[in-house]
Amino acid sequence: MHEEFNGFEKVCKVSKLNENEGQHFKIKSIDVALFKVGGKVYALNNICPHQKANIMHDGFIEDGFVICPAHGWSFSLIDGKMNEIGCKLDSYEVKIIDEFVYVKVFGKKFNWNF
């Protein structure tokens, strides 16, 4: 069932997400990784820019960052930015409405500033 609210797509119940663990969902054909950390939900593009691998949901959470499980690039949960290099993951707005997670996705923005 497809439900939408002001451009935000209904994804899942908050309770379906485990604390400090990622899960990924296709939202309007975009692969999005959701993370619940400290009870707050964050949404980032699931594709690591290093080798274009859709594995960010399997990343480790540490100090507000998600660390790619393949080679350790880390991205802020808040805005998807890396500390080390100029590229970033797209980050998406999240709303919680009646215990459900809603995410507002947009088309891929290219942020390859090597």
Q: Tell me how far apart the alpha carbons of residues 70 and 78 are, in angstroms, rounded to a whole number.
A: 21
Q: Is 87 in the site for ligand FES (CB under 6 A)?
A: no
Region of 38-46, 69-77, 81-89, 91-99 interacting with ligand FES (CB under 6 A): 69-77
Q: Tell me how far apart the alpha carbons of residues 50 and 104 are, in angstroms, rounded to a whole number.
A: 24
Q: Are 106 and 22 in contact (CB under 8 A)?
A: no
Q: How many residues bind ligand FES (CB under 6 A)?
A: 9
Toward ligand FES, which CB reaches closer, 14 or 55?
55
Q: Is 75 in the site for ligand FES (CB under 6 A)?
A: no
Q: Tell me how far apart the alpha carbons of residues 73 and 56 are, in angstroms, rounded to a whole number.
A: 10
Smallest separation (angstroms) from ligand FES to the CB of 26: 20
Q: Are 18 and 93 in contact (CB under 8 A)?
A: no
Ranges within 9-68 binding ligand FES (CB under 6 A): 48, 50-51, 53, 68
Q: Is 104 in the site for ligand FES (CB under 6 A)?
A: no
